[in-house]
Amino acid sequence: MKCRHCQAPLNQPFVDLGSAPPSNAYLSEPDLHRPETHYPLRVLVCSECNLVQTEDYVTEDTVFDADYAYFSSTSRGWMDHAKAYCERMTERFGLGADSFVIEVASNDGYLLRNFVEDGVPCLGIEPTASTASAARKVGVETLEAFFGEQLAEKLAKEGRRADLIAGNNVFAHVPDINDFTAGLAAALKPEGVITLEFPHVMRLVEFCQFDTIYHEHFSYLSLLAVERIFERAGLRVFDVEELPTHGGSLRVYGCHQEAGHRRNSAVETVLAEEHRRGMDTDAYYEGFQVRADEIKDGLLRFLLEAKKDGLSVAGYGAAAKGNTLLNYAGVRPDLLPFVCDAAAAKIGKFMPGSRIPILDPAVLETWRPDYLLILPWNIADEVRSQNAHLAEKGTRFVVAVPELTIL
């Protein structure tokens, strides 16, 4: 495999998490009687452009299909984040009834519904039928397609170039990152703005967030890499914000090279920190495998000791990161009998690979586990708040990343 951005040979390993099915390929009851396809889950680093990337085994239509089960609006915290974003962008860039906003990977309309309510014309672009349908039900015009340069040029010819293009947690999800970025440029007005949010690979390394690695995340991004990718497409980064979401993310602001947006000093600050840590060297990425294995082993020790001591453990949050963790650790229903999740699309299904059943959180009222393992550790505070009544009855909360912690 060559680098998906610069085509340089990939010789620097980052981490090998064995083999697993796609992390959002949840199983139905009949699926339990069929074999699952497992794909290697290995990540490499490009020594030339510093792009961290999965070794290619799956295509985007394999992981983003009609039954895609991730609905953004399930998380109250994420909904609040989206609303605050819309308010801020409206104020900063003067958006109104004469503006046009595009969101790429608009999911179930969790973000654009705010612009709809404020009378700002918008368009969602979403390839998965399940979430696109949900978006239309809340009044968000949604084009059911994968985004790239060809689609963007079609929109431009129709006079639908955007004042603002939003992309939350999609830049890491595209196998052809050059085509996607060229599409951003083609769909953007001359003075328009692109904002992209994505988990910062610096935080992934710092806190060993290896469970955020899964097949639908094709790239793991630094600002160093994004600047190079933007430049190739005729774009530039003019501002950046560090966000707490997903364990530490960046919100990058981009525009055409010739646009009038002034470069903010925050860009130089983040770039300087990435250089200081050595993120432009192979040495920075070495040793990650050992740290990931220590986390995996810590989780297994906890589950085995709990079982030995006769203590019950349930999971909460059938998130993709949880599937990566459970499959790499080899956890099965004998150690974790079920996982609860509030998403109706997941209840009654089974976790891919581990085949652990996904139940309605209401079962916790009667089952009352000794421990509740929170798999989406990035929303641990939200989960604890929602289940405070369990703590009052003796349940203790647990997270496994960046280390096994009983809260």
- Residues 256, 321, single domain; the answer is no
Distance of CA 384 to the CA centre of its chain: 21
| Cα separation values, 389 from 359, 373, 384, 392, 397, Å | 18, 16, 9, 5, 12
Question: Tokens 């294995």 appear where?
Answer: 293
pLDDT digits 0-9 by tens, 68-89: 556 767 778 889 999 999 999 9
300 is a domain residue? yes
Tell me, what's the pLDDT at 76? 82
Judge if the upstream peptide bond of residue 402 is cis by omega within 30 degrees of 0.
yes
pLDDT of residue 128: 87
Residue bearing tokens 């991004």 = 221
For the segment 310-317, the average pLDDT, to the nearest whole number, is 98
| Any domain includes 273 | yes
The answer on 268 and 166 residing in a single domain is: yes
189: in domain: yes
- Mean pLDDT (whole number) for 151-174: 96
Residue 85 lies in a domain: no
**Going by DSSP bridges, is the β-strand pair 371-374/358-359 parallel, antiparallel, or unpaired?**
unpaired
Task: Look over the chain and give the mean of its residue pLDDT values, rounded to a whole number.
Answer: 94
**Which ranges in 6-111 belong to alpha helices (H)?**
60-63, 76-93
* DSSP helix/strand/coil, 91: helix
pLDDT band per the 50, 70, 90 thresholds, residue 307: very high
What local confidence, expressed as pLDDT, does residue 63 receive?
A: 52
User: Would you mind telling me the total number of residues written for the chain in this entry?
Assistant: 407
Q: Decide: 51 and 3 in contact? Cβ < 8 Å.
A: yes
> What is d(CA 151, CA 299) in angstroms, rounded to the nearest whole number?
44
Residues 270 and 315 in one domain: no
Whether residue 374 contacts residue 319, with contact meaning beta carbons closer than 8 Å, is answered with no
- Among candidates 173, 232, 161, 152, which has minimal Cα distance to 53? 173
> For 278-333, where are the alpha helices, taking DSSP H only?
288-308, 320-329
Residue 279's identity, in one-letter code, is: M
Count of structural domains within the chain: 2
Query: Which residue, 285, 303, 330, sits at the end of a domain?
Result: 285
**Which stretches does DSSP call E strand in 216-299?**
219-220, 235-243, 249-256
CA angle 382, 385, 388 (to 5 degrees): 145
Q: Are residues 232 and 314 in the same domain?
A: no
Report field, pTM of the whole predicted structure over 0.85: yes
Number of Cα atoms under 13 Å in the Cβ half of residue 256: 16
> What is the token pair recorded at 206?
């710092």
**CATH code of the domain covering residue 153:** 3.40.50.150
pLDDT at 283: 95
298 and 276, same domain (yes or no): no
Rounded distance, CA 190 to CA 185, Å? 9
The predicted pLDDT at position 143 comes to: 95
Q: DSSP string spanning 109-171?
A: STTHHHHHHTT--EEEE---HHHHHHHHHTT--EE-S--SHHHHHHHHHTT--EEEEEEES-G
319 & 380 share domain: yes
Token pair listed for 24: 């959002």
Instruction: Provide the domain limits for residue 220.
Output: 146-285
